[in-house]
Amino acid sequence: MSARAKPNPRTRLYAVLAMLGLASSALVVRAVDLQVVRKDFYQEQGDARYLRDIDIPVSRGTIFDRNGEPLAVSTPVESIWANPKELLEHADRIGELARATGLDEESLRQRLAERSDREFYYVKRHLNPDDAQAVLALGIPGVSSQREFRRYYPSGEVIAHVLGFTNIDDAGQEGLELAFDAWLAGEKGVKRVIRDRLGHEVENVELVREARPGKDLTISIDRRIQYLAYRELKAALVEHHASSGSMVILDVPTGEVLAMVNQPSFNPNARGNVDPAYRRNRAATDVVEPGSTVKAFTIATALESGKWKPHTPIDTSPGTYTLYGHTISDVHNKGLIDVTGVITYSSNVGAAKIAATLSRDEMYDVFHRFGFGEVTGCGFPGESPGNLPIAKNWGPVEQATIAYGYGLSVTPLQLAQGYAALANGGRLRPPTFVKGGQAKDRAVIDPQIAATVRGMLETVVHPPGGGIKAAITNYRVAGKTGTSRTAVGGGYQKKYISLFAGMVPASAPRLVGVVVIHDPQGAYYGALVSAPVFSKVMDGALRLLDVPPDDVQNWYTASPDSGHTVRMARQAPDGAQPEPDYAEGVPE
């Protein structure tokens, strides 16, 4: 048997060197692949694990009232979040986290399991910073915090319907928060950071986008007058066991909304299940048939036609008027009155007889000029245009009923805008919620006609006019009561709506106010339900604004030795006063 060949050492050396060469070549190729060929891919993968773009939160702009009082502010809060995948690897700590945040442990475990493939989950948002720090101090893996802002409304439900509210992401949802969301919200910034495996930021790499805080907004609302209106409206609803109500106050020269309140209201600071009806800004979104308050515009149309003068007589006997089988009634037979008396005594018969002498196009044109049938242009989200049927659809009966406030529908804001035009010398200025944001006005009626109608409206607040409860000491008041019924498909419910619309001081109007109260129990006439609210609120508002009385010479201050008494604007200088007539005709 031949001996085995002895291995050649040189061959072995070459083999080892070849293998080393191949391994080195493979390493070089792999290095070139990693560092050159596929560099971007692996860089992206590394960045994806440790490099993050983080939002830089910004504070929403503050909303101020016209006097600089804060109405909506943003406060810093902390939100606790977790990396579900990492936290589930330490499942024994989930119970600890649940107890620290006040959450149900099983529910938290289930939510984390459902999101196990994600890297981010909000555990609990908008915590007090101290409470959030206590959670972080537990050192639970995968748990971090994030700075956010929460909206706070110092006045609570008093201004809730005007301001609206934001959601948990601080985005406007209703009211002015929604209307001016782009202005208030600002723009979040973005920064690029490196995070360690626990999610902690270890280095700021670069600023991707600079944060732009939201801009502040000064609105037209006067918080003091708003509170007055809120208080008195709420008291009236309680007194009369009414279901809801609204009040609007406008500044006549500028059209600025000084107050807008609704009942029932809601607390915008309390997020939760709130009845949507409570959140509705009824003053701008809900419509009513305005009843006798619209007679002011019917009379303005009559005066503009040239067919009627303030003292033109009109016979309302016997207190009813039958038109094409439809009977129009007054509560009492007013007999022979004049055009002014139609306003003073709130005669449906008189208004209908005057309308019968006017063309439907004339009436529609004047009503439309005063803003009925279209939105006011104030920009409030969800504002209703009301309903003013086009003239060609008016028959004689429809025209007659529209003349005394039925067959059309308006919002309280629209009605206030119309009365403000009468107060402003016949010039209509769209209302605004922004201080100094007044829109351009336009002429809608001759100034002399507007002045004449104002004078007629003053008679309502003197006996025997029914609006005596709207009177204000030492100020002349011009206004009109109204009573209507809640309309339903094909007819009316046995529910009433009480209204009053007026202006003060009548000699040089500064403020216009409209009060609407739904479904009062017992007494339901606007003269008894809404007029007193107008008086109390406007009395306080005039004094807060330092509006001088109409006639300073007759404004006496009572004192122990003066011998003078304070004169009420509604008092006749001498003699007994006739009894006021509060009742108004309401269709069955």
pTM of the model: 0.86
pLDDT value at position 488? 81
pLDDT value at position 117? 86
How far is Cα 191 from Cα 54, in angstroms, rounded to an integer?
5
The answer to whether the CB of 244 falls within 8 A of the CB of 282 is yes
Q: Which residues are catalytic?
A: 292
pLDDT value at position 21? 80
Work out the number of other CB atoms within 10 angstroms of the CB of residue 440: 8
Which SS3 state, helix, strand or coil, does residue 304 take? Answer: helix
How far is Cα 85 from Cα 418, in angstroms, rounded to an integer?
63
CA angle 243, 246, 252 (to 5 degrees): 165
Q: What is the pLDDT of residues 404-455, one digit of tens each?
A: 999 999 999 999 999 999 999 999 999 999 999 988 999 999 999 999 999 9
Give me the residues of the chain with pLDDT under 70, please.
1-7, 34, 37-50, 195-205, 551-579, 583, 585, 587-588
Instruction: Show the domains of the chain with their CATH numbers.
Output: 53-74+148-218 (3.90.1310.10), 223-554 (3.40.710.10)
pLDDT value at position 31? 76
Q: Of the candidates 274, 270, 254, 306, which has an alpha carbon nearest to the alpha carbon of residue 440?
A: 254
The answer to whether the CB of 550 falls within 8 A of the CB of 262 is no
How far is Cα 497 from Cα 253, in angstroms, rounded to an integer?
29
pLDDT value at position 566? 38
pLDDT value at position 199? 57
Q: What are phi and psi of 337, to 5 degrees?
A: -130, 180
Residue with tokens 């607390």: 267
Query: What one-character-per-residue DSSP string does 528-586 give?
Result: HHTHHHHHHHHHHHHHHTTPPPS-GGG-----TTT---PPPTT--SSSPPPPP------
pLDDT value at position 271? 77
Please list the residues that pair with 323 across neighbouring strands: 326
Which pair of structure tokens corresponds to residue 571?
A: 């008092």
Which pair of structure tokens corresponds to residue 311?
A: 């003292």
Work out the number of other CB atoms within 10 angstroms of the CB of residue 453: 27
Q: Helices marked H in 33-128 — which ranges?
A: 39-50, 84-88, 94-101, 105-114
Query: What one-character-per-residue DSSP string does 312-345 give?
Result: -EEE-TTSEEEETTEEEE-SS---EEEHHHHHHT
- Among positive and negative, which fits the CA dihedral 379, 380, 381, 387? negative
**What spatial distance separates the first Cα and last Cα of the chain, rounded to whole Å?**
135
The answer to whether the CB of 486 falls within 8 A of the CB of 532 is no
CA distances (Å), origin 346, targets 362, 404, 528, 535? 22, 9, 14, 19
- Among positive and negative, which fits the CA dihedral 348, 349, 352, 353? negative
pLDDT value at position 44? 60
